[in-house]
Each structure stands twice: as C-alpha cells, then as structure tokens.
C-alpha cells in the first residue's frame, strides 16, 4: 500500500472516530462507493476471526468482516448446519478464501492463529461465549445486549480486567460519524443543558402462535444451541427468531432494539447508573407463546436531575416523531433528534427546525439483519484498531454494560411489578428481594460462566 493511501486511511479512520469532519451537512461519507470505502479501510495486517451465530444478523456481520481488507474470517461456527453452509459460501465469495466450518465454537477458540470471536448468537449465549473467548486470549466483537442478565455484564467487566483482552460491544452508532457529531454538539451546549431523553422503537410483528413439541431437526444441534440455559423441549415456533420473546433465552424488545437508543440517550446525557427504574406494559396484542412485553414503557431517573424513557411497540408500527426508531434530547433551549440513520436534527423551543445533518448512506432501520453495513464497518475498524494498535474502543464493555443494564432493570421491574430503587454508584437494586433474584439466572449444570 502506498504512503498516500495509508495516510488517507489513517485520516479517514481518525475522522470517523472523532467526528471532527462530520459536523457539516452531508457528513464525511458521501461520494464513497462501497469498493473505494473498503479500499481506504484496507491494511496489511489481517485480523483473523471466527463468526459465531450466522443465521441472520450474524450472517451480515460475517460478510461485513470478510469485506474488510485487513480481516479474514477463518471459522464459521453455528449449530445450524444450513446457516453455516450459506455463510461459508458467501464469505468465500467475498474474501476469496474458504473459512472452516466448526459447529462447536469452543474448538475454534483452541486455534492459536485466531485473533477474535464475533458473537451474534441468541442473547443467552452472549456473555458465556465472550467469557470463554476471553479465557482463550481472544478479542471479542459482541452484539448487543452484552448479557442476558445484569450479573453477566459484571462478569464481562471482570473478564477484561483479568485477561486484558478487547471486547467491543455492537453499539455501532457510537462510531457513526454524524451521530458522533450530533452528540458532540449536544455536549457543547447547542441547545443548552439537556435534561430528558425520549427513546423508542416500533414495529408490526405478527403472532408466533402456540408452539408444538416436535423432534429436533437433523440440521440443528439443539443441546449446544441451549448451552448455558437449563434444558427445555424443542418447539416449532422457537428457532430462529422467536426466542427473543421468551425470558428463558431472550430479553424482549427492550434489549433487542431498545439497547441501541438507550445507549445514545445515556451517552448524550452523560449519565451512568440511575436512582429509580420502573416499567409498565405487557403482551397485549395476541394470545400466544410470546412472554415478553409487546408494549412497554420504561422510565429511568438519574440523580443529575434528568431522565430517560423508552417506549417499545412490537405490534403497532406507527412512527413516533416521524420515525420508527429514535431518540430526542430535550433541553433548556430546544431539542435534538437522532433517528435510525446517520444524521440528526436540531429544533428551537417553538419546534422550528434550525439545523439538519443528513447522510446519503441508506439505513433500513427495520432490517433484521443488515441495516447499515457501510457505517458498521467503521465500528469494526475501531475494533481492529484497538486490537492492533491499542486504540480506544468506541463502545467498550464497561460502557456497554451500563447501557444494557438500564433496559435490563426495566425488564426486571416489569417482571416483578415494582418500581426499583437503584444505587447510583453501582447500578445495584436496593429495595426489592424479588427483583434481586433476577440479577442473575439459573444455568445448566456444568455450563455456568466463571472468570
């Protein structure tokens, strides 16, 4: 690579991380094709990764990693042989080299040539897999949420402290240039002191019906799919997506989509742990196996005289403030809105639009798999920079745990039917014995995550 290209690459990544060139209308990405974009991000040293969980979002991540010039996907790990075969085919086409199929990711972790594990499994596997990778000396790119329960987030922090590895959480908007610029403007006081952030997600999901106990398909290793979760029978309405709506394996819409926007809200308000969390909602639309709320409002209060709310509507997709997903910061002199794309809007107190920053990179906020490949590549490159050069992560596990915990506490409040008092120094629950029992979970014997 020429010095000129290398300098361009370094300048681009620096601007993407700091947001210094992203404040003007149009940001820094317009004019870049997918090929030229990938070329600028190229580097000589390749990070060798294993992709774990490649059916949907994991397939998008695996192909995105494979498209990076400084990366090679050397393992594809999935308990579904069909998903693995499809991913291997697509990754091979992109990178020109065929990754190895490994049904059990733990065997891939034994490879000394492996640098990192990409985790895009169901939620109950996120933290246990990341901890095993940490013990094996690997870095981890961990999709949100960072854990199935609060205790797992704390374990991940302890793992990084002990094993000195890198864990980047998939809060990709922390790396999107115009989102970074919007938060920078907020922190600079463009609308005065912000004191309230409203976040939301809406969709029109269908009923999952009543599942029937059936024989496990030949293409699925259901025992390994369940992994650390206590064993339950296989039903025909569980895999591949509906596990989100069962408390045993999933965390509901709050952590499925709420984590992203609540993370931006916490970032913008510059807060850590709350003092009080409450939740109201339920499974209102259909009568089926769906356990988590399809309608939910979580309220989070902080000692700094500010608050965050999250509204989730899984079964009525009418937009809020003109968008299906977003966050609005309300402040002394106006408001700032960030939606699902790489842009933001600033309004005065009368609701007049006074500034709008757009980006030509299209984002499909309701895509279940790959809403923003080109933008997410910046987050991936930030992960690589931390591995190879010791650069600062845009979404480290401490930050990721704090944001994940906010919506986890909301779910706990929902499940016990109580408002929770929280220690603002630790994030721990103070008042409810029943809520404290949900801080962790039961594990299948022999599968318990340990540091």
- Domain with residue 196: its CATH number is 3.30.360.10
pLDDT beyond 50 at 54: yes
DSSP E strand boundaries for 28-129: 47-52, 71-77, 100-101, 116-119
pLDDT beyond 60 at 38: no
**What is the tens place of the pLDDT at every residue in 308-340?**
999 999 999 999 999 999 999 999 999 999 998
Give a yes or no: residue 445 inside a domain.
Answer: no
Are both 404 and 347 inside the same structural domain? yes
**What is the tens place of the pLDDT at every residue in 339-364?**
988 999 999 999 999 999 998 666 55
Range of the structural domain that residue 56 is part of? 3-173
Give a yes or no: residue 432 inside a domain.
Answer: yes
Q: What is the pLDDT of residue 45?
A: 83
Q: What is the pLDDT of residue 366?
A: 52
Q: How far apart are CA 252 and CA 408, in angstroms?
A: 10
Q: What is the pLDDT of residue 93?
A: 97
Kindly report which listed range (37-46, 61-70, 75-84, 231-240) carries the lowest average pLDDT score.
37-46
Kindly report which listed range (51-55, 102-106, 356-360, 370-374) carries the lowest average pLDDT score.
370-374
Share of the chain above pLDDT 70, in %: 87
Give a yes or no: residue 447 inside a domain.
Answer: no
Are both 204 and 159 inside the same structural domain? no
Are both 162 and 249 inside the same structural domain? no
Are both 168 and 181 inside the same structural domain? no
Give a yes or no: residue 181 inside a domain.
Answer: yes
Structure tokens belonging to residue 340: 């699902």
Question: How far is CA 366 from its chain centroid?
Answer: 14
Are both 69 and 190 inside the same structural domain? no
Kindly report which listed range (28-32, 47-51, 155-159) carries the lowest average pLDDT score.
28-32
Q: What is the pLDDT of residue 16?
A: 39
Give a yes or no: residue 370 inside a domain.
Answer: no
Alpha-carbon dihedral 210, 215, 221, 224, rounded to 10 degrees: 60
The last residue of a domain, from among 146, 173, 200: 173
Structure tokens belonging to residue 174: 């922390």
- We report the CATH number of the domain holding residue 70 as 3.40.50.720
pLDDT beyond 80 at 275: yes
CA neighbor of 333 nearest in space, from 148, 191, 439, 431: 191
CA neighbor of 75 nearest in space, from 46, 106, 44, 45: 106
How many structural domains does the chain have?
Answer: 2
| DSSP codes, 275-310 | SEEEEEEE--S--SS--S-SEEEEEEEETTTEEEEE
Query: Is-contact 181 19, C-beta < 8 A?
Result: yes
Q: How far apart are CA 57 and CA 203, in angstroms?
A: 17
Q: What is the pLDDT of residue 425?
A: 97
Are both 265 and 136 inside the same structural domain? no
Give a yes or no: residue 373 inside a domain.
Answer: no
Are both 151 and 225 inside the same structural domain? no
Are both 130 and 243 inside the same structural domain? no
The last residue of a domain, from among 173, 199, 228: 173
The last residue of a domain, from among 120, 152, 173: 173
Query: What's the whole-number mean pLDDT along residues 162-175?
Result: 97
Per-residue confidence at 282, pLDDT binned at 50, 70, 90? very high
Q: How far apart are CA 172 and CA 365, in angstroms?
A: 13
Q: What is the pLDDT of residue 361?
A: 66
Q: What is the pLDDT of residue 119?
A: 98
| pTM confidence score | 0.88
Are both 164 and 276 inside the same structural domain? no
Are both 51 and 155 inside the same structural domain? yes
Are both 335 and 355 inside the same structural domain? yes
Q: What is the pLDDT of residue 363?
A: 58
pLDDT beyond 70 at 116: yes
Give a yes or no: residue 367 inside a domain.
Answer: no
Query: Is-contact 241 249, C-beta < 8 A?
Result: no
Q: How far apart are CA 63 and CA 49, in angstroms?
A: 12
Give a yes or no: residue 320 inside a domain.
Answer: yes
DSSP E strand boundaries for 67-113: 71-77, 100-101
pLDDT beyond 90 at 194: yes
**What is the tens place of the pLDDT at every residue in 200-242?**
999 999 999 999 999 999 999 999 999 999 999 999 999 999 9
pLDDT beyond 90 at 189: yes
Share of the chain above pLDDT 90, in %: 85
Q: What is the pLDDT of residue 14?
A: 42
Q: What is the pLDDT of residue 305?
A: 93
Q: What is the pLDDT of residue 304?
A: 85
Are both 265 and 331 inside the same structural domain? yes
């Amino acid at each position: 690579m020429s010095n000129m290209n290398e300098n361009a690459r370094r300048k681009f990544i620096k601007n993407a991380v700091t947001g210094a060139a992203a404040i003007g209308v149009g940001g820094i990405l317009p004019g870049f094709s997918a090929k030229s974009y990938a070329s600028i991000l190229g580097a000589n040293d390749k990070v060798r990764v294993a992709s774990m969980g490649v059916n949907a979002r994991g397939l998008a991540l695996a192909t995105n990693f494979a498209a990076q010039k400084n990366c090679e996907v050397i393992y594809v790990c999935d308990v579904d042989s069909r998903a693995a075969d499809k991913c291997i085919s697509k990754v091979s086409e992109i990178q020109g080299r065929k990754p190895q199929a490994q049904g059990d990711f733990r065997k891939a972790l034994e490879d000394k040539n492996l640098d990192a594990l990409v985790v895009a499994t169901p939620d109950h596997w996120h933290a246990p897999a990341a901890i095993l990778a940490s013990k094996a000396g690997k870095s981890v790119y961990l999709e949100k949420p960072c854990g199935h329960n609060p205790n797992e987030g704390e374990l991940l922090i302890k793992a990084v402290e002990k094993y000195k590895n890198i864990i980047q959480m998939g809060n990709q908007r922390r790396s999107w240039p115009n989102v970074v610029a919007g938060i920078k403007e907020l922190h600079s006081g463009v609308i005065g002191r912000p004191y309230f952030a409203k976040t939301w997600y809406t969709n029109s999901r269908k009923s999952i019906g009543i599942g029937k106990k059936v024989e496990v398909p030949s293409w699925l290793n259901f025992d390994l799919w369940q992994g650390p979760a206590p064993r339950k029978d296989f039903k025909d309405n569980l895999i591949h997506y509906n596990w989100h709506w069962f408390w045993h394996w999933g965390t509901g819409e709050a952590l499925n989509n709420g984590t992203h926007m609540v993370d931006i809200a916490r970032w913008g308000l510059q807060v850590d742990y709350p003092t009080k969390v409450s939740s109201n909602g339920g499974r209102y639309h259909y009568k089926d196996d769906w356990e988590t709320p399809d309608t939910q409002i979580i309220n989070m209060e902080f000692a700094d005289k500010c608050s965050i709310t999250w509204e989730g509507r899984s079964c009525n997709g009418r937009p809020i403030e003109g968008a299906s997903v977003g966050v609005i910061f309300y402040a002394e002199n106006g408001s700032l809105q960030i939606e699902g794309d790489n842009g933001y809007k600033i309004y005065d107190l009368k609701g007049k639009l006074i500034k709008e920053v757009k980006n030509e990179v299209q984002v499909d906020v309701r895509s279940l798999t790959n809403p923003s490949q080109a933008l997410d590549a910046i987050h991936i490159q930030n992960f690589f920079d931390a591995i190879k050069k010791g650069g600062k992560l845009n979404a480290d596990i401490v930050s990721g745990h704090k944001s994940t915990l906010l919506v986890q506490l909301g779910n706990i409040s929902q499940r016990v039917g109580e408002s929770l008092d929280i220690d603002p120094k630790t994030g721990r629950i103070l008042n409810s014995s029943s809520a404290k029992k949900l801080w962790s979970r039961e594990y299948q014997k022999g599968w318990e995550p340990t540091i």
